[in-house]
Structure 1
């Protein structure tokens, strides 16, 4: 197959895997690994080594650096207030416990030397954001568990790589008769260089952003350039220090004051999806089935030990004295999938050890992939049911963030609450917040566009936004702010006077304001008049004998407003100007009804 066609095929297959994963709500890594195996060792359609040549491992390393930098941009130090001690324990002595158990199991059940077993144990301490993030979206654990797993997954990657470097240098020292002191000196230099370069790169790039010395259109390009240069320079000066560099750079950058990185983070998330898709396919395509078969039942035993012994022991020791409940600790102990970092690091070290002609070095990669596939498959299938069983999962993302806690917003929130839909009302006026709380509604007192909201506005369990503020500009701004979180299809705002203007140049684009609620002639002031008349929240069950047409005939548009409908599948459907809602028998309608509306 021509190289150009192969590259295009890999990109298309990666997209197909991501789309399929979205449709069936499973981690994309499952489909990516299967695809790589099929086009590689399966049908031998792609020879990855021949396709990329000497650029294969530089491309893998740089892609991993970008992925890890993107993950580190989400790590706010304030989050460590409740989980800091646990995360610290999990990535330090907890990781060593995990590595020790894995090392012993690998030596006795696979038959590798103590040196190679220790290297494999070091590599397997990593979890990684590429598999943790999709799994968290699927499992939906409570925020404390999610934060702990996210922090662990990102911080453990460079630390795991450093631990692997320490073991690797020890192996090299054995092969070359170097001193143990030299090994620890290299390790210390790697840490110091990684931290120093990471801080310097993060600070310099942060200054450029804070002082607006870069035009907006160059922000994303500059981010890639800084990450690539810092990673390359760090790895050139000290091998395998680059991952620590980019992680420190991201954490430093995201915690700098007055540095706004939301657009960069959104762009990097897109890049991460692309790189993860391509990397998993090409790495899986390099698997050698012969060596995988050679591992036999030993690989299965290693997987069982890591899932049922190493991970639980690590978590339960690391959380002694913490605020995590037994149920939360149990889910933490169950979720620890291995991802792209483990695959990439094992591939790099295996290649270097094969150059040193070390026996059984070629077994590292298939053994790593057996663990990656096993942990992802087992945990993807069981983590969500386990979280529900333990009572530590958030509800499905069917709730709504409501901009405004005014009387209109409170009334609609009460209707949603009556329908069993979670709501969170956000307002900066204390009188509105107090009234919402008197109605037993969940609230956030503050500006939804503030830095405080970025940190503390908890949107877990929410899947959409309703702009119910009396100010159209605030609703549109909120739609812009949250369309990345919920998707523009799940963002709704009220109609405004601008919507009635004939020329399009006077109307806000639907791309910015989302879908318009109710009808174009129903604005905030109209709903406000109805609320002042003390409306009833009416529920109507549609049947074969009483259909939507009957409901319309019985309800005067001047005194009734259909708010939303609940389908037979318990899905919420809002009335909007863009779609004609046609409720069917079995649906339940929620509406506001008044006797009369004053002018």
Structure 2
């Protein structure tokens, strides 16, 4: 039978299917509900594991459990290394160096002290576990950064720290454990130091050799395109396995170095490789979290007392803030970024996996309280995941280091239509960024207050200088159809295919120029080309934002504006989306319509504004005259005043 009874457990295939469904399902549900994915994965694992007993990884998967977790962590760290391009460090370089070279040893010391005096562990267990606690968890940081949409530098600092400190923490634990063994056995200090140095050197050499070997083979065409990812995974597993055989846990360092080398090799196929690894990592992160949560034994947690709570508070409120404060003494990193880093240190898969392993080894070496390391690690992970999962985004927003509540639009290409659209959206409170390689085309938008970027949106300068966290939608509207399609294809995975748009191509109806549906973005404005849209603006059409209310609904708007072209909507939460043929407008109070209005409507609205301006001026002048008369009667003088500003409103259309 495929599924056994609850007492007998699940068949391995069913266990893997359950893990996959729960992991991916939790991430999808978190996306829909805008909740931290890690929290939902943790809860799902606890429910199917110790709460209901539906799944027990040790029972259902057996001896493959630990090797699977080890390989998954290695791939996760390798993928993290692939994101660490040294050329993109720039202003975060100083902070990264301080967090690694100062923060790691300081964090080790402070964590050891917290374990010794708050949790009450022995010095042996405290030193080993304190080394592991250097790890801040790339498996947790990556999903949190995607959700919080932090500013570029604090995001880079957190990501680099998490990736680089993972192997550093594991090696620190190895060093402490070797020292414990030296003190408890007859092994000499020189032998232990030699073993550690040999393991680190081997891991570094293997990582560098694997990375350069892959880069050399891929660049010279010795590996066909369809085999690049399989070859990469095979080399990755070989490097991890050989290094781990020399010194346990040194494989983490080897694969991280290998990933960094490949990331900085400027391979033509690097983007495809990284994208595949990102997909694999999402599956592995969710799977490992489900596994670890499901494998939790509540009996082990029962062995903890009030000291466990004191330990967690000491780590979050004292050890981490002090580590960051000491690391950034006399640095150029702004104070608000230091504050964000000080109170952001979620722990993840590596901490739990490595802590459990060393806890067992300490018990075998005669350190009895080593059995408490695993439960303490899980409690720390659970608390930091929940606390940082729910607080990182609002905390970062309060410090001005996160994307605004109102998601914005990037418009690529400055033309009469796009400039009119940008100015209308900007006046409506939607963040807009206009980009074009030609600065002269952006002058009008800049005068109107619209943020601009003179350059190529696909360039490294754009990636390094633009805070893309403020924008979740992009419109490619240049006069180069091929470039528009390239933008939609290249930025689709980053923004989401449903948030990438472009104007219609000039030769789209010709079979010779037809493109596969997977290329480019969705076409806006009823398949009108940029040339047609610009012509309409020259003829007197305008772009307007009209708010729907209970009194002025969509039917009223359609009746008043029968010839208007509806091109988009702004939801009650200020989210912008362009309407594609067949899309539902989903009208309702608070929804704003983005439309192109006819020249006749524009002329009438201008006349109404001029008339309203005249009436306002007359009323103000009349008021000033009456005030002057009163002043003259009272003081014998003559009053004078200045006119106030005015606001024009599209009253016939429910307000602009």
- TM-score category, normalised to shorter length: over 0.9
Q: Residues 546 and 592 of structure 2 are in contact (CA less than 8 Å); yes or no, is this contact kept in structure 1?
A: yes
Alignment check: 8 A CA contact 1:102 1:302 kept: no
What's the RMSD between the two structures over aligned residues?
A: 2.3
Instruction: State how far apart, in whole Å, the 2-side matches of 1:451 and 1:225 are.
Output: 31
Larger Rg: 2
1:524 lines up with 2:533 in the alignment: no
- The corresponding residue for 2:607 is none
2:548 pairs with 1:542: yes
Q: Which residue of 2 aligns with 1:34?
A: 43
Distance 1:357 1:255 in 2: 45
Equivalent in 575, 593, 596 of residue 592 of structure 1: 596
Could you tell me which residue of structure 2 aligns to residue 123 of structure 1?
132
Matches within 5 A, 1:187-206: 187-206=196-215
- Is 1:566 matched with 2:570? yes
Structure 1, 373-382 or 214-223: larger mean CA deviation: 214-223
Which segment drifts farther, 154-163 or 70-79? 70-79
Give a deviation string over 1:477-516, Cα, whole Å, max 9, x none: 1111111011111111112344445x7x864344323321
The equivalences for 1:255-404 within 5 A come to 255-396=264-405, 398-404=407-413
Matched position secondary structure for 1:72? helix
User: Which residue is equivalent to 2:560?
Assistant: 554
> Residue 337 of structure 1: CA displacement?
0.4
Secondary structure at 2:568 match in 1: strand
Q: Please, which of 576, 579, 588 is the counterpart of residue 580 of structure 2?
A: 576
Shift of 1:18: 1.7
Structure 1 residues 39 and 587: CA distance shift in structure 2, 3 A: closer
Q: Does 1:157 align with 2:166?
A: yes
**Structure 2 unaligned residues grouped into runs of 5+:** 1-8, 602-656
Aligned residues of 1:466 and 1:493 also touching (Cα < 8 A): yes
Q: 1:226 aligns with which of 229, 235, 239?
A: 235
Measured in 2, the distance between the counterparts of 1:437 and 1:194 equals 53
Determine helix, strand or coil for the equivalent of 1:421: coil
Residue 413 of structure 1: CA displacement?
1.6
The corresponding residue for 1:514 is: 521
Conservation of the 8 A alpha-carbon contact between 1:397 and 1:460 = no
Distance verdict in 2 for CA 1:74–1:310, change over 3 Å: same
- Mapped to 1, the partners of 2:584 and 2:55 lie a distance apart of 49
| Inter-CA distance 7–538: structure 2 relative to 1 (3 Å threshold) | closer
Secondary structure at the counterpart of residue 92 of structure 1: helix
Deviation at 1:462, TM superposition (A): 1.3
2:6 aligns with none
Distance 1:11 1:576 in 2: 34
Aligned mates of 2:442, 2:222 — CA distance in 1: 40
Q: Distance in 1 between matches of 2:268 and 2:544?
A: 48
| Cα 1:143–1:455 shift into 2, 3 Å | closer
Distance of 1:53 and 1:545 partners within structure 2:
65
C-alpha change, 1:405 and 1:211, in structure 2 (3 Å) is: farther
**What whole-Å deviation, never above 9, does each CA across 1:147-182 have from its counterpart, x for those lacking one?**
111111111111111111101111222232222223
Contact 1:231 1:242 in 2 (8 A): yes
Q: Structure 1 391/448 Cα, relative in aligned 2: closer, same or farther at 3 Å? A: closer
Distance 1:397 1:344, change over 3 A: farther
Q: 1:50 to 1:186 in 2, by over 3 A?
A: same
Residue among 47, 55, 60 paired with 1:51: 60
With normalisation by structure 1, the TM-score equals 0.93
Contact 1:515 1:578 in 2 (8 A): no
C-alpha change, 1:100 and 1:576, in structure 2 (3 Å) is: same
Against the structure 1 CA distance between its residues 56 and 354, is the aligned structure 2 distance closer, same or farther, given a 3 Å change threshold?
farther
Residue deviations 1:127-147, cap 9 Å, x none? 121111211223333222111
Deviation at 1:452, TM superposition (A): 4.5
Deviation at 1:345, TM superposition (A): 0.9
2:83 equivalent in structure 1: 74
Moved more, 37-46 or 157-166: 37-46
Q: Aligned equivalents of 1:65 and 1:365: distance in 2?
A: 20
Q: Does 1:113 align with 2:122?
A: yes
C-alpha distance in 1 between matches for 2:258 and 2:233? 12
Contact 1:397 1:463 in 2 (8 A): no
- 1:562/1:5 CA distance change after superposition, 3 Å: closer
Deviation per CA, 1:103-133: give whole Å up to 9, x if none.
1221233332101111111111101211112
Find the counterpart in structure 1 of residue 189 from structure 2. Answer: 180
Helix, strand or coil at the partner of 1:330: helix
**Aligned mates of 2:286, 2:202 — CA distance in 1:** 31
Aligned to 1:448: 457
2:12 and 2:61 in contact (8 A); partners too: no
Contact 2:407–2:574 (CA<8 Å) still a contact in 1? no
Q: Return 446-455 or 573-582, whichever deviates more.
A: 446-455
Say whether the 8 Å CA contact 1:73–1:265 is kept in structure 2: yes
SS in structure 1 opposite 2:120?
Answer: coil
Secondary structure of 2:429's counterpart equals coil
Specify the SS of the correspondent of 2:434.
strand
Distance 1:386 1:210, change over 3 A: same
| Contact in 1 for aligned 2:397/2:404 (Cα 8 Å) | no
Distance in 2 (CA, whole Å) between partners of 1:585 and 1:291 is 54
Number of aligned positions between the proteins: 592
1:8 aligns with 2:17: yes
- Pick closer, same or farther for the CA change 1:575–1:37 going to 2, 3 Å: closer
Aligned partners of 1:70 and 1:269 also within 8 Å: yes
